Structure 1
Amino acid sequence: MSIWGKMTRKANIHQYLKEDIKFQKTLKARDLMALGIGAVIGTGIFILPGTVAATTSGPGIILSFLVAALVCATAAMCYAEFASSLPVAGSAYSYGNIIFGQFIGWVIGWALILEYMLAVAAVSVGFSAYFSAFLKGFSIHLPQAISGPLDPSHHTYVNLIAMVVIWLITWMLSRGMKSSMRINDFMVVIKIAIIALFIIVGLFYVKPKNWSPFLPFGANGVLTGAATVFFAYLGFDAVSASAPEVKDPQKNLPIGIIGTLIIATILYMAVSTVLTGMLPYSKLNVADPVTFALQFFQRNGVAGVISVGAMAGMFTMMVTMIYSSSRLVYAIGRDGLLPKFLGKINDENHLPNHSLVTVTIIISIMGGFINLGQLAELVNIGTLIAFSFVSIGIIPLRRRKDIKNDGFKVPLYPVLPIISLLLCLYLMTHLRLETWVASLIWFVIGAVIYFAYGMNHSNVHVSEK
Structure 2
Amino acid sequence: MEAGTGSAGLLHSLVRTKPVDQIVSEGGQGAGGELKRTMSLLQLTLFSVGATLGTGIFVVLGEAVPLAGPAVVLAFVLAAVTALFSALSYAELAGTIPVSGSSYSYAYATLGELVAWVCGWCLLLEYAVSVSAVAVGWGAYLNEFFDKTLGFTMPAAISNSPGEDGGVVNIPAVVVVLIATLLLLRGTSESATANTVMVMLKVGVLAFFCVVAFTAFRAGNLTPFAPMGWAGISAAGSKVFFSYIGFDAASTAGEEAKNPKRDLPLAIILSLLIVTVVYVLVGLSAVGAMPWKRFSLSGSEASLARVLDEATGMAWPSAVLSFGAVVAITSVVLTVMYGQTRILFAMSRDGLIPPIFQKVSPRHAVPVANTLIVAGFIAVLAAAIPLGRLVDATSIGTLFAFSLVSLGVIVLRRTRPDMPRSFRTPFYPITPLLGIGFCVYLMVGLGAVTWTVFLLWALVGLAAYFAYGRRHSRLAAEPAGRPATGKESR
Q: Which moved more, 1:338-347 or 1:210-219?
A: 210-219
- Which position in structure 1 is the counterpart of 2:122? 111
Q: Offset of 1:369 from its aligned partner? A: 4.7
Q: Offset of 1:293 from its aligned partner? A: 3.5
Equivalent of 2:393 in 378, 383, 387: 378
- Which position in structure 2 is the counterpart of 1:56? 68
Does residue 450 (structure 1) correspond to residue 465 (structure 2)? The answer is yes
TM-score w.r.t. the length of structure 2 is: 0.85
In structure 2, runs of 5+ residues without a counterpart are: 4-8, 29-33, 484-490
Q: Does the 8 A contact of 1:334 with 1:340 survive in 2?
A: yes
Q: Write the deviation string for residues 206-261 of structure 1: whole angstroms up to 9, x where unpaired.
A: 34555566556666665554444333212212221111111211221111111111
Q: Does the 8 A contact of 1:345 with 1:352 survive in 2?
A: yes
- Which position in structure 1 is the counterpart of 2:488? none
Equivalent of 1:6 in 4, 13, 20: 13
- Which position in structure 2 is the counterpart of 1:295? 309
Q: Does the 8 A contact of 2:159 with 2:167 survive in 1?
A: no
Q: Does the 8 A contact of 1:99 with 1:397 survive in 2?
A: yes
Q: Offset of 1:165 from its aligned partner? A: 2.0
Does residue 408 (structure 1) correspond to residue 423 (structure 2)? The answer is yes
- Which position in structure 2 is the counterpart of 1:388? 403
Q: Name the amino acid aligned to 1:8.
A: V
- Which position in structure 1 is the counterpart of 2:256? 245
What is the RMSD of the two structures over their aligned residues, measured on CA atoms?
2.8
- Which position in structure 2 is the counterpart of 1:188? 199
Q: Does the 8 A contact of 1:335 with 1:343 survive in 2?
A: no
Q: Offset of 1:387 from its aligned partner? A: 0.7
Equivalent of 1:41 in 41, 53, 63: 53
In structure 1, runs of 5+ residues without a counterpart are: none
Q: Offset of 1:451 from its aligned partner? A: 0.8
Equivalent of 1:198 in 189, 203, 209: 209
Cα distance between partner residues in 2 of 1:148 and 1:293 = 21
Q: Does the 8 A contact of 1:334 with 1:344 survive in 2?
A: no
After superposition, the Cα gap between the structure-2 partners of 1:110 and 1:293, relative to the gap in structure 1 and judged at 3 Å, is closer
Report sequence identity in percent: 33
Q: Name the amino acid aligned to 2:305.
A: T
Q: Which moved more, 1:290-299 or 1:107-116?
A: 290-299
- Which position in structure 1 is the counterpart of 2:37? 25
Equivalent of 1:440 in 426, 451, 455: 455
- Which position in structure 1 is the counterpart of 2:326? 311
Cα distance between partner residues in 2 of 1:376 and 1:204 = 31
Q: Does the 8 A contact of 2:241 with 2:395 survive in 1?
A: no
Q: Name the amino acid aligned to 2:366.
A: L
Does residue 127 (structure 1) correspond to residue 138 (structure 2)? The answer is yes
Q: Write the deviation string for residues 22-52 of structure 1: whole angstroms up to 9, x where unpaired.
A: 3211112211221212222225324655764
Q: Which moved more, 1:311-320 or 1:44-53?
A: 44-53
Cα distance between partner residues in 1 of 2:385 and 2:306 = 31
| SS of equivalent to 2:334 | helix
Q: Write the deviation string for residues 263-321 of structure 1: whole angstroms up to 9, x where unpaired.
A: 11111111133234334545554435533342233242112111122223321111111
Cα distance between partner residues in 1 of 2:102 and 2:365 = 19
Q: Does the 8 A contact of 1:49 with 1:271 survive in 2?
A: no
Q: Which moved more, 1:230-239 or 1:454-463?
A: 454-463
Q: Which moved more, 1:37-46 or 1:234-243?
A: 37-46
- Which position in structure 2 is the counterpart of 1:417? 432
| SS of equivalent to 1:431 | coil
Where in structure 2 are the equivalents of 1:167-246 lying within 5 Å?
167-208=178-219, 210-211=221-222, 225-246=236-257
Q: Name the amino acid aligned to 2:439.
A: C
After superposition, the Cα gap between the structure-2 partners of 1:249 and 1:97, relative to the gap in structure 1 and judged at 3 Å, is same
TM-score w.r.t. the length of structure 1 is: 0.90
Q: Does the 8 A contact of 1:11 with 1:463 survive in 2?
A: no
Cα distance between partner residues in 2 of 1:216 and 1:367 = 34
